[in-house]
Amino acid sequence: MPRTNSATSFGSIAKSFHWLTALLILSNLPLGWYATDVAEAVAAEPTEALISQATFLFSLHKTLGVAIFFVALARILWALSQPKPGLLNGDRGIEAWAAETAHWLLYGSLVLVPLSGWVHHAATSGFAPIWWPLGQSLPLVPKSEALSDLAATLHFLFVLVLAGTIAAHVGGALKHHLLDGDATLRRMLPGRIDAIPTARQPNRILPMVAAVAVWLGTLGGAAALGWFGSAENGPTTLAAVESDWQVESGQLQVTVQQLGSAVTGSFDEWTAEIAYSETPDESGKHGDVTVTVSIASLTLGSVTQQAMGADFFNTAQFPTAVFTADLMATDSGPVARGTLTIRDQSVPVEMPFDLSIVGDTATAKGTLALDRRNFNIGNGVTDEKSLGFGVDVSFDLTANRAP
C-alpha cells in the first residue's frame, strides 16, 4: 500500500494518523468524564483512595490530551502536503457540504480541545500533573484563576462540539457503508482501495465558514447562558473594623505541598484591627492585632473547591479564621505572639515579622509555619506525599496611621 495519498485513495500514513487519532480520542473522552465523576466523589468524601484514583485519572487524561495535540498537528501538516481524495457523493449538495463541514470541525476540534485543556492546566496550580517532559507550564500563559476558569469552560464547550461531530462523522460513514454501499468507509481501512470520486465536489470555503459558525454559535449560546460570567467569591461577609492603623493594601497567602509541588493561594477578604506604638511598654509589648479571615474567599488553584469541604476547612460550619496576638519586641526582632483559631481548634503561635515605619505609613511582612493536623484539616489524607502536613502562611501589607 502506498504511503502517500492519490486522487482516488488514502495512503498508509494518512490512514495511520486517522486511526491513531480515533483511538486516542475515543479513549480520552470517556476517561475525562469518568475522572470528573471521581473528582465529584472526592469533593463529597475525600478519602486517600479516591484522591489517588482521581489524580491518576486526570494525569492520564491530561497526558493523552497533550499527545492528541501533537498528533493532530502532525496529521494536519501531513494532510496539507497531500492530495485529498474527493468525495464519492460530491454531487449530493447538502450531504457533501455536511461531510466537509464535519471534517473542518474535526480538524479544528483536534487542536482546540487539547489546547484549551492544556491552558486550563497551565494557568492554575496543583492537582494531577501532566506526565510529560515539557513541564506543567506553557509559554505566554500566566498563573491566573480567571484565565484557568475561562479555558476550562472553553474546553468543555469544544468537547461538546467534538463529541457531536464524531457522532455525525461515524453515522455518515456507516450510512455510506450500509445504505449507499460505496467505498467511503472501506478506503480508510488497511490495503489499497481506489474509488473514483464524483466529478462534482463541494466548495471548500463554505464548509469552513459553516464550521466557524458552529463554534461561534456554541460560544454565543454559552455566553447567553452566563457560562462566561466572571468568577467571584461572593459578597463581602466581613464587617469593616476601626483600627489605629488602617490597612491600605496587602495580601494574605497560604502555600501547601500537593503531590510534591508547592501550591499557593490567596485570601481575597480579611480584616486587621491593629494597635501599635513605636514605644513598647515594660513587658516589651508594642500593641496588639486581631486578624479575621473569610475562608471562603480563598483561591487555591485547582483544589479550591476541595479545600472548602467538610474534611478540610469546612466553611459551611466554620466560615472564618481568627488570629489574635500581642505585638512584642524581642532580641531577634518583632513577633506577633498569640492564638490562631481555624475550625474548632485554637493553637498558640508566634510569627516573626519585618516592620518599617516612615512617618504615618507602615509596611510589614512575615511568614508562619503551621501543621494542618493541629487544626483537624485533611485528617482523611494521611499520606504526606499526597498533601503535605506543613502549611506556610505569609502576609505583606501597607497600613496608614489613623488621624
pTM for this entry:
0.81
Measured in whole angstroms, the distance separating CA 176 from the mean position of its chain's CA atoms is 40
Rounded Cα gap, residues 127 and 38, in angstroms: 14
CATH architecture of 245-401: Beta Barrel (2.40)
Contacts with 352 (C-beta within 8 Å, 6 or more apart), sequence order: 332, 333, 334, 335, 366, 367
Burial of 378-391, coded b for 16+ CB within 10 Å and e otherwise, reads beebeeeebbbbeb
Q: Which set of grid coordinates corresponds to residue 151?
A: 479555558
Contacts with 194 (C-beta within 8 Å, 6 or more apart), sequence order: 6, 8, 9, 187
**398 or 193, greater pLDDT:** 398
Structure confidence at residue 120 (pLDDT): 94
Sign of torsion over alpha carbons 83, 89, 94, 98 = negative
Is the pLDDT at 236 greater than 70? The verdict is no
Burial of 170-205, coded b for 16+ CB within 10 Å and e otherwise, reads eebeeebeeeeeebbbebbeeeeeebebeeeebeee
How does pLDDT run across 128-150, given as a tens digit for each residue?
Answer: 889 987 778 899 999 888 899 99
Average pLDDT score over residue span 360-382: 94
The CA distances from residue 42 to 31, 197, 309, 330, 381, in Å, are 16, 53, 10, 45, 11
Q: Which set of grid coordinates corresponds to residue 92?
A: 449530493
Is the pLDDT at 153 greater than 70? The verdict is yes
Place of cell 487524561: 61
Average pLDDT score over residue span 320-333: 94
% pLDDT > 70, the chain? 98
Length of the chain in terms of residues written = 403
Query: What CATH number belongs to 12-224?
Result: 1.20.950
Rounded Cα gap, residues 147 and 119, in angstroms: 8
Q: Which set of grid coordinates corresponds to residue 174?
A: 456507516
* Inter-helix orientation angle 145-174/205-224, to 10°: 130
Quick one: which of 204, 3, 189 has its CA closest to 86? 204
Rounded Cα gap, residues 264 and 254, in angstroms: 6
> What is Dmax (Cα atoms) for the chain?
100
Structure confidence at residue 385 (pLDDT): 84
How does pLDDT run across 84-119, given as a tens digit for each residue?
Answer: 999 998 888 899 999 999 999 999 999 999 999 999
- Per-domain boundaries in the chain: 12-224, 245-401
Rounded Cα gap, residues 67 and 86, in angstroms: 29
Is the pLDDT at 80 greater than 60? The verdict is yes
Amino acid at 340: L
% pLDDT > 90, the chain? 67
How does pLDDT run across 345-357, given as a tens digit for each residue?
Answer: 999 999 999 999 9
